[in-house]
A and B are shown apart, each in its own frame.
Chain A
């Protein structure tokens, strides 16, 4: 399968849902990726099973603050430079690229990199959604090393990390990334095809594209968006989404805690959900939804807030009091519920709750009484 210009728009739309409120607005990269495909031709999308066992694949992404990314115009060359430095350091030649995360901006980054280098893109990623840190990937949990981990800034400055611990690298890179301007291109997690088949979440690009296509075709009606989303998701590695509430945002708090955007909001139900309330906590992404005392959904399951006017997902920085919204939860791919993954993405890693119960299970409990 090949990704053409219009597919970039579909994937960007799907990635807004999989971003779960974070991971940034794709607009700038979307334009760049379309421009690159326009100039260099479509990007080949490879199923993980089409890869040779010994073929090297490198993960491409952006790291840093989306707000800085909207201001610093990148050339695209930063990505190529990061990739070449990684290849040089590890003495390999990349045969294909892969996404680190399929949510928000980083669903588009590897498409741009692939279009610029002419390499194929593997239909898979390491998060199945958006997460804030590099160790929160199946790559890390299932045996791939992040190193050599190369970041390149718009001004041509690059930095390499060769530490064996992904967590150490994440910590060090996030600090120097800030000193390098706050938004950098990242090449990391070189993997062979064989390892990738075990350590990546398969076919997330196809799913993301299908979500985007069906949502864009649904027009701006939240009911239609939700039902087409449900139709695409229930037969995928995700699962049937659950509608938690429809109503209005009546309270909203955002604050800076330890340098991160945290906060909570309260949605008061209307219509069928009259008299209900759902409280949502977030840090970079939506993390937890609570109905009164009862937790109804937590990370790693995806929580999305859809704007009732358009059916499109709202990012945390777009939220406003009085907005009419639907809150939905999407079951995450099962691989994220593996104990090895929950060690890094279970709710306790984000300081919200100490156990994880899948959202569909919480929901069926509700149904039975």
Chain B
């Protein structure tokens, strides 16, 4: 059984074929094509040219890419979006607040508000949701212009009933064919951030369809029966179907792939990774083989989001190819940010352009490693991507001493979702479990964030 990892960056499409013992069988590299797909086709042909028999042995094709992230940065090929807010009060904050004008124009956002939504405990709010209001708002908006819908309801991470109801009505009123993004599938508590993610996801729907929907056919033409995955922000697998629906989940994936690839190449599960490309140097830390995630909300082109992205320090290179003292200094400081208190972690350099930097970098307190397969770290990380399941929800403590029980419930839920996503049950473990009490409120509500990880097959 073989796995094919394909890393698609702005410049190169890099493929690595691995066997079940995680040994590299073959590699190939081509230039990335503007449509992404023909580059993938080309690299696939290059691999299969070496050995035709592989086509029947490849079980999984896993793609790691920042294609969708870049499309947003460039504001290209985006769908016109209609955003629907469900809540108790009409906010004066326009959706996608803070986005650059160019992106606003590309998305051509129209938006409306309908009463409805839920409370912290999941109950239905006072001002009721009605179909008549949804119909009226959509008619007033002339929603026919929109190519995709984004629906965000108050406390939908606690109860998503109203989002699903509105989505149903939208399909009945406006037809089945246009994609509808629902916020509870894309984010946690924090209305604006979740709404932003939902709108951006809807905006990417056209491009996702154009670039990814041909992928199955492409593999079929090459007689590959393999299952298709993408990698998501935390470096774990995203099924082909979810990727088609939730392209925003791929944001940050290439960096996570690269970090995990570095772990495999060096057999080190705890280390600092420095990923060097032409445009930037990205520094982060691996804890137990997984990139440490950022707790703070990120901003993407000025828009606030709450995705599970790796915590990284970025150093822009602005096309400077030379390694000078300033760069070495900046990298040193970025590394120090992640070094623990005792026993400094080893440092691993990976990435296409890491050679010069790794050669010049001196670090007196721990080992500096530059594995020979450094250019393929991201594709390798895609090959070995695990399956994850996560839960980020508000739970209610009922009675005394039930806290431990709630934690167990949340853990079980995360494990279940990892298994549903395709993990082998025996390999699933809880990677992190965090309880976040709400402040300034005498309540028994507790936010739990749990993530479970398992291996595929």
Q: A residues touching B (Cβ–Cβ < 8 Å)?
A: 22, 24, 27-28, 31-32, 35-36, 63-68, 70-78, 132, 153-157, 174-175, 177-178, 181-182, 248, 250, 254-256, 258-261, 268, 284, 309, 316-318, 320, 322, 324
Contacts and interface: CB of A to CB of B under 8 A. Distances in A.
Nearest to B157: A71
A64 B440 contact: yes
A70 B190 CA distance: 5
B438 A76 contact: no
Main secondary structure on A side of the interface with B: mixed
A70 B439 CA distance: 13
Contacts of B155: 71-72
Interface in B336-372: 337-338, 340-341
B245 interface: no
A34 B87 CA distance: 22
A73 B191 contact: yes
B295 A76 contact: no
Contacts of B89: 72-75, 77-78, 154-155
Contacts of B125: 155, 181
Contact of B91 (A75, A309, A318, A320): A75
B126 A157 contact: yes
Contact of A175 (B92, B337, B442, B444): B442
A67 B90 CA distance: 19
Nearest to A249: B341
7 contacts: A72-B191, A75-B89, A75-B91, A181-B125, A258-B442, A259-B442, A322-B340
B437 A71 contact: no
A28 B93 contact: yes
A68 B444 CA distance: 14
Nearest to A68: B120
B295 A318 contact: yes
A75 B85 CA distance: 13
A352 B155 CA distance: 35
B25 to A, nearest CB: 38
Given A157-B126, A320-B295, A322-B340, A68 B93 contact: no
Given A27-B304, A66-B439, A71-B155, 15 more contacts: A65-B438, A65-B441, A71-B190, A72-B88, A75-B90, A75-B91, A75-B92, A156-B88, A174-B442, A175-B442, A181-B119, A181-B120, A182-B441, A259-B444, A309-B337
A154 to B, nearest CB: 4
Contact of B191 (A70, A250, A255, A260): A70
B322 interface: no
A5 B441 CA distance: 31
Nearest to B190: A70
- By Cβ-Cβ distance, the 8 closest A-B pairs, closest first, are A259-B442, A73-B91, A75-B89, A65-B441, A155-B126, A256-B437, A154-B88, A154-B89
Q: Which of B192, B295, B437 has the most CB of A within 10 A?
A: B437
Contacts of A324: 337
Contacts of A35: 92-93
Contacts of A157: 126
Contact of A32 (B88, B93, B190, B340): B93
Nearest to B447: A67
A63 to B, nearest CB: 8
Interface in B405-457: 435-444, 446-447
A73 B89 CA distance: 6
A154 B87 contact: yes
A261 B97 contact: no
B209 interface: no
Contacts of B296: 318
Given A154-B87, A156-B127, A72 B154 contact: yes
Contact of A259 (B192, B304, B338, B441): B441
A174 B442 CA distance: 8
Given A71-B190, A317-B436, A320-B295, A250 B441 contact: no
Given A73-B87, A309-B337, A324-B337, A68 B92 contact: no
Q: Which of B119, B127, B337 has the most CB of A within 10 A?
A: B119
B46 interface: no
Nearest to A133: B440
Contacts of A322: 338, 340-341
A231 B189 CA distance: 38
Contacts of B447: 67
A254 B437 contact: yes
Nearest to A254: B437
Given A182-B120, A309-B337, A155 B88 contact: yes
A73 B154 contact: yes
Interface in B102-127: 119-120, 125-127
Contacts of B120: 68, 71, 181-182
Nearest to B189: A71
Contacts of A254: 435-437
A22 B441 CA distance: 13
A66 B120 CA distance: 12
Given A64-B440, A67-B438, A68-B120, A31 B189 contact: no
A76 B436 contact: no
Contacts of B437: 254-256, 260-261
A155 B116 CA distance: 10
Given A71-B190, A155-B126, A317 B88 contact: no
A256 B435 CA distance: 9
A153 B126 CA distance: 10
Contacts of B341: 248, 250, 268, 322
B92 A36 contact: yes
A68 B439 CA distance: 10
B93 A317 contact: no
A121 to B, nearest CB: 19
A304 to B, nearest CB: 17
A65 to B, nearest CB: 4
B191 A284 contact: no
A327 B440 CA distance: 23
B331 to A, nearest CB: 15
Contacts of B154: 71-73
Contacts of A317: 436, 439
A159 to B, nearest CB: 13
B440 A65 contact: yes
Contacts of B192: 27-28, 70, 73
Contact of B92 (A24, A65, A76, A174): A76
Contacts of A284: 439-440
A178 B296 CA distance: 26
B88 A67 contact: no
Nearest to B442: A259
Contacts of B435: 254, 256
A259 B397 CA distance: 11
Contacts of B88: 72, 153-156, 181
A72 B92 contact: no
A139 B71 CA distance: 54
Contacts of A76: 92
Q: Which of B85, B87, B446 has the most CB of A within 10 A?
A: B87
Contacts of A320: 295
Contacts of A72: 87-89, 154-155, 191
A316 B126 contact: no
B342 to A, nearest CB: 10
B439 A260 contact: yes
Contacts of A67: 189, 438-439, 447
A256 B446 contact: yes
A68 B126 contact: no
